Amino acid sequence: MDSKNKIYVFDTLLRDGTQSAEISFSLEDKLRIAEELDRFGIDYIEGGWPGSNPKDQLFFEKAKSFPFKHAKLVAFGSTRRAKFSADKDPNLKALLDAGTPAIAIFGKSWTLHVKKALKISLEENIELITDSIAFMKKNGKEVIYDAEHFFDGYKADPDYALKTLLAAEKAGADTLVLCDTNGGTQTLELLYIIKEVLQRVKGRVGVHLHNDSDMAVANTVAAVEAGCQHVQGTINGYGERCGNANLCSVIPNLQIKRDYDCIPDDQIAHITRLSRFISELANLSPVNGMPFVGTSAFAHKGGIHVSAVIKDATTYEHIKPDTVGNKREVLLSDLSGKSNLVYKADELGLDLSKYEDKIPDIIKALKQKEHEGYQYEGAEDSLKLLIKKVTGEWKSYFDLEGFRVLVEKDSAGSPRSEATVRMLVNDQKEHTAAEGEGPVHALDRALRQALRKFYPEIKLLRLVDYKVRVINGKEATGAKVRVLIESAYGNKRINTVGVSRNTDEASWDALTDSVSWFLHEMDPEKIN
């Protein structure tokens, strides 16, 4: 017996989500995602359509040996074809061969599709639904019936749409899922139709809603409030066209805001990590502004906002960030005030209490840097270095006198890069040159040559990542670029930034910030 507040969560990322234009999961990706969804506490994981492609068939073969601890794995497919009986239909056979405890079968609810897509009579369609579900129940499967295009079908012919649903229920379907396949249904009409359905059927009812009107999450939450106990969607809302209902919003809204039981309570704090894990495997950048789990979901930029948040976070935050495993971010920009700076400095481990008189100078320097194109959200070590320079805490480890980069390319060979660096290190002039795979590599090698005899520990520092972002693309090849460099030593990371119209100069600034901060960290006599 279902508890009043239990909501069964069904994730269709591995099937419907992969229909997103940007996504193509490997077999290994799908297995890793299934493992994470199971750990998170998703009730049903739809693994794919085994009758449609070899990858999905292989996935189900591999998944048979996977010890699911919470979730039920689901194979997806259509009702039988009109020309086959249920026991002879290849699609239904593939569903059984997948070996999953639950099966999701979709059937037609809209007369338009029955007549124009299937090209059969309305009564024949009822037979396809009835025979397919009864066959699966006879074989011991839990059946989740997806009533495809149900809302559009109901609006076109309510009697027939309900007739297909009642046929599925009579045949033994365990859950009846009302699908807004085209994603165009508005909330009030959705609620009216759900109310009509719940008066006619006896079992569990769910929804599968697409986001073409940007209402999938709101409609899903409304459907639950109306009495549905089963929700379908995908992590991050990935899916065909505009995507599916985003479970990263559906679950927190239902569980945190409305006190429904969607996943184990101890897992809700892992939803941000899960969202970013899925983004990584999908090879897509996380959406910063995604509610609950985005990096900007609890970010504050305006000084008045930050001042209020420091006093009481509920002034500008609807929940505590750590409830969903996220964190508060205070951004420094031309909108920043003292509150932003003090909060951020404290977060970075910098004590500005003895530099109250320097705070206006630091804010002025930050605003000028932002005007030039700098952003410090992904380059906090450059920010720490800037603050220390303004407060007078910085010890310079070297000074640049000049650098030159040459790139040569002939018709036959690969490009050749050479960098020359002139600098003062401990009051000694150093003039070094080095070749590299590219300009930045050559600059890095020349810089290291100049520093090696003074700071032999430089060999411990390694480049991990290098990114170039165009700031003002309208200026074409004359645009400014922002270079982000991530370096590492041991298990520590250093993130720095440089900005210029010249990529080499931006790279040099980010590179020297990285080296400077490393030497500062390694210096036993550093200024604190």
Q: Which residue has the higher pLDDT, 312 or 354?
A: 354
- Identity at 161, one-letter amino acid code: A
Looking at residue 527, its pLDDT comes to: 59
pLDDT band at 283 (very low <50, low <70, confident <90, very high): confident
Delimit the domains of the chain by residue range: 8-282, 299-370, 399-522
Q: Considering the chain, what is the average pLDDT of its residues?
A: 91
pLDDT band at 343 (very low <50, low <70, confident <90, very high): confident
What is the total residue count of the chain? 528
Q: Which residue has the higher pLDDT, 167 or 359?
A: 167
Q: Give the residue-averaged pLDDT of 42-64.
A: 92
User: Of the given ranges (65-79, 219-233, 343-357), which has the lowest mean pLDDT?
Assistant: 343-357
* Helices 54-63 and 27-40, packing angle to 10 deg: 50
For 31, the 3-state DSSP assignment is helix
**Residue bearing tokens 């011991």:** 140
Looking at residue 487, its pLDDT comes to: 92
The answer to whether the CB of 472 falls within 8 A of the CB of 479 is: yes
Q: Which two tokens stand for residue 474?
A: 């309208």
Query: Within 10 Å of residue 325's Cβ, how many Cβ atoms?
Result: 18
Looking at residue 1, its pLDDT comes to: 44
Long-range contacts of residues 314-322, Cβ cutoff 8 Å, at least 24 apart: 319/252, 319/256, 319/292, 321/297, 322/269
Our measurement of the distance from residue 356's CA atom to the centroid of its chain's CA atoms, rounded to an integer in Å, reads 40
Looking at residue 374, its pLDDT comes to: 86
- Distance (Å, whole) CA 350 – CA 517: 14
Domain at 399-522: CATH architecture: 2-Layer Sandwich (3.30)
Give the whole-number percent of the chain exceeding pLDDT 90: 70
pLDDT band at 353 (very low <50, low <70, confident <90, very high): confident
Q: Which residue has the higher pLDDT, 38 or 478?
A: 38
Does the structure show a pLDDT above 90 at 420?
yes
Q: Give the residue-averaged pLDDT of 251-265.
A: 97
For the chain, state the CA radius of gyration.
30
* Helices 303-311 and 338-347, packing angle to 10 deg: 60
Looking at residue 295, its pLDDT comes to: 83
Q: Which two tokens stand for residue 494?
A: 């250093």
Looking at residue 365, its pLDDT comes to: 87
Q: Which residue has the higher pLDDT, 292 or 367?
A: 292
Does the structure show a pLDDT above 50 at 352?
yes
Does the structure show a pLDDT above 60 at 507?
yes
Q: What is the DSSP string of 165-219?
A: HHHHHHHT-SEEEEEETTS---HHHHHHHHHHHHTT--SEEEEEEB-TTS-HHHH
Q: Cβ contacts of residue 348 below 8 Å, gap of 6+?
A: 380, 383, 384
Our measurement of the distance from residue 527's CA atom to the centroid of its chain's CA atoms, rounded to an integer in Å, reads 40
Looking at residue 399, its pLDDT comes to: 93
Q: Give the residue-averaged pLDDT of 452-479.
A: 85
The answer to whether the CB of 298 falls within 8 A of the CB of 329 is: yes
Looking at residue 13, its pLDDT comes to: 97
pLDDT digits (tens, 9 = 90+) for 479-488: 889 999 999 9
Give the whole-number percent of the chain exceeding pLDDT 70: 94
- Distance (Å, whole) CA 332 – CA 382: 13
pTM, two decimals, is 0.71
Looking at residue 54, its pLDDT comes to: 85
Q: Domain 8-282 in CATH: superfamily?
A: Aldolase class I (3.20.20.70)
Closest-CA residue to 13 (of 152, 288, 40): 40
- Distance (Å, whole) CA 447 – CA 509: 12
pLDDT band at 302 (very low <50, low <70, confident <90, very high): low
- Distance (Å, whole) CA 465 – CA 487: 7
